[in-house]
Structure formats: C-alpha cells, structure tokens
Homo-oligomer: A and B are copies of this chain.
Amino acid sequence: MTEEHDHSHGYISNKEAYLKRMRRIEGQARGLQKMIDEEKYCIDILTQVSAMTSALQSVALGLLEEHLNHCVAGALENGGAEADAKLNEATQAIARLVRS
C-alpha cells in the first residue's frame, strides 16, 4: 500500500449504507459458524455461503461504480499516463472480482 493510499479518499457517497451491508455480512459469517458448530445440513450451509458471497460481490460492485465515477473519472479528465494507470488498475480489480 503506497503513501497515497493512507488518507481518506472521500469517494463513498453513502458510507453508512455500505457499513450496514458489511455488518449484515459479518452477521452472516457468525450465522455460518453457528450452523457449522451445530452441524446443520451441508446443503443449507452452502446455500448460506452463496447468499453471503452474492451480498459481498454486490458491495464490491457498488464500491467499484463509485470508484469509476470519482477516482477514475477524475483521472480520465486529466488524461495521459495517470488516466491509463487508473484504468488499468480498475480493470485488474474487476478481473480479480470476476475470477474470485
């Protein structure tokens, strides 16, 4: 993580909504521990994992849209090598999401 990444970036338009979604996902992680501890039926556990994964990807896609809208849009306005770098960085992050 470079120095650039150390300060607040101010790109998240509705921070409280994202925090609420992440708290719900944290709750799903705790719920899964309970299901595993009680050895609930495996298929029901897998269904919960799929729901949790979808919720997590949905948060990621929302943050990505904000990032494209603010950071990448700003860099594209200025153009040049900085714009290419931001775009490439965003595409790499999308590739990781697609493959994970």
> Quick check: A94 and B61 within 8 Å, CB to CB?
yes
Residue from A89, A91, A94 having most chain B Cβ neighbours under 10 A? A94
Known contacts A9-B40, A100-B54, A64 near B46 by CB under 8 Å: yes
Closest approach, in angstroms, between the C-beta of A86 and any C-beta of chain B? 9
Closest approach, in angstroms, between the C-beta of A16 and any C-beta of chain B? 10
> Quick check: A91 and B68 within 8 Å, CB to CB?
yes
Docked Cα-Cα span, A79 to B18, in Å, equals: 25
Q: List 10 A-B contacts (CB under 8 A).
A: A8-B39, A9-B39, A26-B29, A42-B63, A42-B67, A43-B90, A46-B67, A52-B56, A61-B94, A61-B98
